A and B are shown apart, each in its own frame.
Chain A
Amino acid sequence: MLAGYYLSGGAGLFKKYKMGAAIANRGVPVMGGAGTSVGVIIATTTSAANAYGLALDASTYTTTPTSSTEGIITVDVRPDLVIRALISGSATEGVTQTVLTNTASSSTVFTSASIDSDDQDGGLLYILTGANKGQSRSITAFSASTSVTATVAFPAAIAVGDTGLVLPWNFAGTGADGADGPGWVTATTLITQANAATASGAGLETSVVDMELNGATDSYILFVLRDHVHGANALAS
């Protein structure tokens, strides 16, 4: 995951933190250690509660340091940092997303047996080829391994053989089931990319800002961390 930009613009704010666990990779969200532990730890694939920001360093962790710089990482702590994550097609990093091929003509329904089994209602359908190339629609009905439906029709019918991507994320939604696309992003195993093969409404607490949809291997999701220690909701202990 990369530091994309800041929602409010201006310069970044970096802090060096003590570590509570090893952080093997740069460009991962980090958060406060649980309970009474001291130091930052790496986020999990589904949680970045009390996030401190994006780690710019990687380091080992030891309780008996021999070097003065052992166990320190630099973190970009601005809560409006827009994190840019490459989209992977599975929990493993760098996997091509499943390109779906439509098998029934319709202007609102994309039919394919290869559609994910995870409920991606509230996500986004993005068309890669055909008359609707580059168009996207919110998914408002989902049938596992069968079809996804958009309420707003595409400009033209999605023809048989047209291809597209189904993503569990969206730009807008209330967070309720079926409209939960913008609120959560599941990370890949190393927490360095975003895992598209998941249900909508699962993962790190985020607010999706944008998506750069290019294709099955080079698309990105941009989001801010909602549960940030310096965020608007950070006053509660």
Chain B
Amino acid sequence: MDAFVPIYGKLGEGFNKAERSKADEHPGRRTNGTQTAASWIVDLVGRNACILLCSFCRVKFNPRKFHYRRMYVSDYTGMTDGHTFNGRCDACKQATVNTGGGAAFINEEEYSKVCIDPVSARREARAKSRDAFSAWSFIQKQQKG
């Protein structure tokens, strides 16, 4: 009988939550010579999935061509420009923290479901601070009125 013992653990202690999380991770594209980085990226594009690329690989990917946009999450500390995300590069499989930081790309149709558009967010915040309509809200009100 095979018994799986958690790393650094003792028999019978079980896995902690972070270890279970690690077990659920997907290794990404195959590296046994049967799958190229390009075919993996094309697979992800076909599913409108998020693509994470390191600073070396992202110059080879044209997001506009595939209707993708760079993801944005505001960083009020100013440590990043809000467009930096880390993880394992989908092309070269290196940790992006060691390769100049990563960029995440989201399909345009799905963009508003996962992150904020920095341009419209700024417009709405400025309009709210003036207690005024945003341009789009004003147009909508005019059309209704």
Question: Which residues of A in the span 1-44 have a Cβ within 8 Å of any Cβ on B?
Answer: 2-6, 8-18, 20, 25-27, 32-33, 38-40
User: CB distance B114 to A26 under 8 Å?
Assistant: yes
User: CB distance B79 to A9 under 8 Å?
Assistant: yes
Contact pick for B76, options A5, A39, A59, A72, CB 8 Å: A5
User: CB distance B24 to A18 under 8 Å?
Assistant: yes
Across-interface contacts of A56 in B (CB, < 8 A): 50, 71, 104, 106, 114
User: CB distance B25 to A11 under 8 Å?
Assistant: no
User: CB distance B25 to A17 under 8 Å?
Assistant: yes
User: CB distance B40 to A69 under 8 Å?
Assistant: yes
- A64 located at the interface, meaning its Cβ lies under 8 Å from any Cβ of chain B in the complex: no
Across-interface contacts of A17 in B (CB, < 8 A): 24-26
Across-interface contacts of B84 in A (CB, < 8 A): 11-12
Question: Which stretch of A140-148, A168-176, A228-236 is in the interface?
Answer: A228-236
The docked-state distance in angstroms from the alpha carbon of A12 to that of B25 is: 17
Q: Mark A47-85, 1 if CB is under 8 A from B, else 0.
A: 000101010110100000001110011100100000010
User: CB distance A2 to B114 under 8 Å?
Assistant: yes
Closest B residue to A52 using CB positions: B21
User: CB distance A4 to B74 under 8 Å?
Assistant: yes
- What is the number of residues of chain B that contact chain A, defined by CB distance less than 8 Å? 50
User: CB distance A6 to B75 under 8 Å?
Assistant: yes
The docked-state distance in angstroms from the alpha carbon of A220 to that of B76 is: 19
Across-interface contacts of B128 in A (CB, < 8 A): 214
- B16 located at the interface, meaning its Cβ lies under 8 Å from any Cβ of chain A in the complex: yes
Q: How many A-B pairs with Cβ below 8 Å?
A: 140
User: CB distance A69 to B47 under 8 Å?
Assistant: yes
User: CB distance A3 to B17 under 8 Å?
Assistant: no
> Knowing A14-B52, A16-B88 touch, does A234 contact B47 (C-beta < 8 A)?
no
The docked-state distance in angstroms from the alpha carbon of A9 to that of B127 is: 25
Contact pick for B50, options A33, A39, A74, CB 8 Å: A74
User: CB distance B116 to A14 under 8 Å?
Assistant: no
The docked-state distance in angstroms from the alpha carbon of A16 to that of B116 is: 21
> Knowing A6-B73, A10-B77 touch, does A68 contact B47 (C-beta < 8 A)?
no
Across-interface contacts of A57 in B (CB, < 8 A): 47-50
User: CB distance B104 to A14 under 8 Å?
Assistant: yes
Contact pick for A237, options B13, B26, B50, B75, CB 8 Å: B13
User: CB distance A72 to B35 under 8 Å?
Assistant: no
User: CB distance A32 to B24 under 8 Å?
Assistant: yes
Question: Which residues of B in the span 1-57 have a Cβ within 8 Å of any Cβ on A?
Answer: 13-18, 20-21, 23-26, 28-30, 35, 40, 43-44, 46-50, 52
Q: A9-B78, A69-B43 provided; 10 other pairs, C-beta below 8 A? A: A4-B116, A9-B79, A11-B79, A16-B25, A20-B24, A26-B110, A32-B24, A69-B49, A230-B21, A237-B13
Question: Chain A: residues with CB nearer than 8 A to chain B?
Answer: 2-6, 8-18, 20, 25-27, 32-33, 38-40, 50, 52, 54, 56-57, 59, 67-69, 72-74, 77, 84, 192, 214, 229-230, 234-237
Pick 21 A–B contacts, CB within 8 A, sort by A.
Answer: A2-B113, A5-B74, A11-B86, A14-B102, A16-B25, A16-B26, A18-B24, A20-B24, A32-B20, A38-B24, A40-B24, A50-B20, A57-B48, A59-B47, A68-B30, A68-B35, A68-B43, A69-B44, A234-B17, A235-B17, A236-B16
